Structure 1
Amino acid sequence: MIIDAHIHCSGEEQVDDVLQALDAAAVDKAILLAPFLSGNYSLHDRTTLRSANQYLARLIAHHRDRLIGFAVVNPSLDNASEDLRQAHDLGLTGLKMVPAGWYPYDDCAHRIYEAASRLKIPILFHSGIFIDGKSGRFCRPAFYEAVRDHPDLRVTLAHLGWPWSDEANAVGLIDLINGVPPDNSQFRFDVSFGAPPVYRLEVLRKAIAVLTPELLQFGSDVFLPCSGELIKSRISDVSDLLERLDIDKRSRQRIMGGTAAAWLGIN
């Protein structure tokens, strides 16, 4: 099974085209994120985020066996916890969060963690440098240690935290040191690369050595609408690196689908 655990919606995609792209890339299931970086959608505007979550719920409504919707909320905005609850009621079963103007240890963030924990919602965090060129300072991997105040939460840090990938490895290592089974770990990490190509082999080598494949999962980080060929190329990029690192078949399967399946509770 291949699970693409990191696909961005733009608000311009059609569900049939999304499914066709996944078919072409041989992707079995995908996490789709509500739009927040395109069109009129903004992380800093509650009205547009609510609209984005409603849009995503409509998009996936008849394909929830294959398309897994992650809402987007900004905890620094008023009534963000209520917005998360409403998104969950609409059928969005996960949450994407991007610290942009707030830190993962802020009180407003803890209120969202409490709500997500009650609703049993997994969280995908942006970690590492951010595309706006201003918010990377909020996204250091160690800042997410605040999640440990909510032991029932299960989260993923995206992009292996690059350029702070060693710090991300250290965050994830704690549960392994303490003997926590990987599927019960609070943290896992997606290999949607924030790192430019010249860094990727070494970043992935260290992550596999420290975190093991049990805590790593594939994400293409593509923006819809896109072709299946683009998603397939992201799969090939990771597969080629795993080949160069001489990673065995079982471990590859874990990274390409098994870790995300365990995180999402997919049998």
Structure 2
Amino acid sequence: MNLDHLTAIDVHTHAEVSTKGSSSLPEDLHEASSGYFKVEGSRKPTLPELAAHYRERQMAAVVFTVDAEHATGAAPVPNEEVAEAAAANPDVLIPFASIDPFRGKAGIREARRLVEEYRVKGFKFHPSIQGFFPNDRMAYGLYEVIQETGTIALFHTGQTGIGAGVPGGGGIRLKYSNPLYVDDVAADFPHLKIILAHPSFPWQDEALAVATHKPGVHIDLSGWSPKYFPPQLIQYANTLLQDKVLFGSDYPVLSPDRWLADFEKLPIKDSVRPKILKDNAARLLGLLS
């Protein structure tokens, strides 16, 4: 991957459809989230199409699926498929995996295999969809592997568009994604590299506190148009957390084009913009020579 050639690194994109045609979410949740994000047209790009989308923009993208099969009944896009697509497009795609913590010891073995055989760079957790508190000891075996291998744990935080508008929110409970539960993880695994995904509404201040207090914790800015960022998030991104905030779009529900156009209008210092758009992610992902 040629960093000099890249204009940005998007640390948050989704593989939502397998080459076999299956989706990573049940159709009712998928359609509801499309409505929540006001997605126009198809939001199910294949992995090669995702790679082409970012190559056209001279950007790299971290890509992952979400494994929540025990809760949703839907099998995720296979981690191997994501990793193989990244291996076929190494100039633009960076593979993360996702393992449902409820898979227990089998999931722990799988995590190690994915790092050793497929060179995944991190693991995506979605506590609200997967139905677990991040500080549940059930997940600690996974964190041990992630810390040991120097990979990254990325946690969805705050409200989710998945299930929004469906009766009962599709059974998805927001409480699991309070970033304070990740603070326990950061304390118990002091060398674990962590990303808190999204502006963490309604717990934005909690996320800023955790990221300021725990050296290994970072924040990605995905899932929201920057024009809706709360003032304190912009303030911290410009100052105390300027080396720990990361560009993320949440593609395909939010395009990098829209995100970047709105980000351009924020009062971010000229010296900080390249850090958020590329430099911080390059360092965290170990892409610097």
TM-score bucket (shorter structure): 0.7 to 0.9
Distance 1:35 1:74, change over 3 A: closer
Q: Match of 1:103? A: 133
CA offsets per residue over residues 185-222 of structure 1, 9 Å max, x none? Answer: 2100011145x777425253243256432111100101
- Partner of residue 96, structure 2: 70
Give 1:21 deviation, angstroms: 1.0
1:8 to 7, 14, 20: 14
Q: 1:124 to 1:138 in 2, by over 3 A?
A: same
d(CA) in 2 for partners of 1:124 and 1:231?
Answer: 19
Q: Residue in 2 aligned with 1:116?
A: 146
Long gaps (5+) in structure 1: 176-184
1:91 aligns with 2:130: no
Q: Which amino acid aligns with 2:173?
A: S
By how many angstroms is 1:139 displaced?
Answer: 0.8
Deviation at 1:239, TM superposition (A): 2.1
Partner of residue 206, structure 2? 167
Equivalent position of 2:194 in the other structure: 155
Percent identity of equivalent pairs: 26
Task: Note the aligned Cα RMSD (angstroms).
Answer: 2.5
| Change beyond 3 A, Cα 1:169–1:56 | same
Q: Structure 1 87/121 Cα, relative in aligned 2: closer, same or farther at 3 Å?
A: same
1:136 to 165, 174, 177: 174
Distance 1:139 1:47 in 2: 21
2:270 is the alignment partner of 1:249: yes
| Structure-2 separation of matches of 1:69 and 1:2 | 16
Whether contact under 8 Å (1:173, 1:210) holds in the other structure is no
Give the alignment's TM-score, normalised by structure 1.
Answer: 0.81
- 2:61 partner letter: A
Q: 1:33 aligns with which of 61, 64, 71?
A: 64
The CA deviation at 1:35 is 5.0
Shift of 1:43: 6.2
Q: Which residue of 1 aligns with 2:35?
A: none
Q: Does the CA contact (< 8 Å) of 2:204 and 2:233 recur in 1?
A: no
Q: Deviations over 1:41-85 (max 9, x none)?
A: 846479934x62122122222223431111011112232211212
Equivalences for residues 231-246 of structure 1 within 5 A: 231-241=256-266, 245=267
5 Å matches for 1:199-218? 199-208=228-237, 211-218=240-247
Output the amino acid matched with 1:252: R
1:232 positional shift: 1.4
What is the CA distance between 1:87 and its match in structure 2? 2.0
Contact 2:219 2:244 in 1 (8 A): yes
User: Per-residue displacement from partner, 1:144-175 (whole Å, max 9, x unpaired)?
Assistant: 01222112211100113222101111111114
Q: CA offsets per residue over residues 75-114 of structure 1, 9 Å max, x none?
A: 1223221121222222322110111321111111211111
Tell me, yes or no, if the aligned pair for 1:44 and 1:77 is still in contact at 8 Å.
no
Which structure 2 segments of 5+ residues have no match? 1-6, 19-44, 164-168
Q: 2:88 is paired with a residue of what secondary structure?
A: coil
Taking the aligned partners of 1:198 and 1:61, their CA distance within structure 2 comes to 35
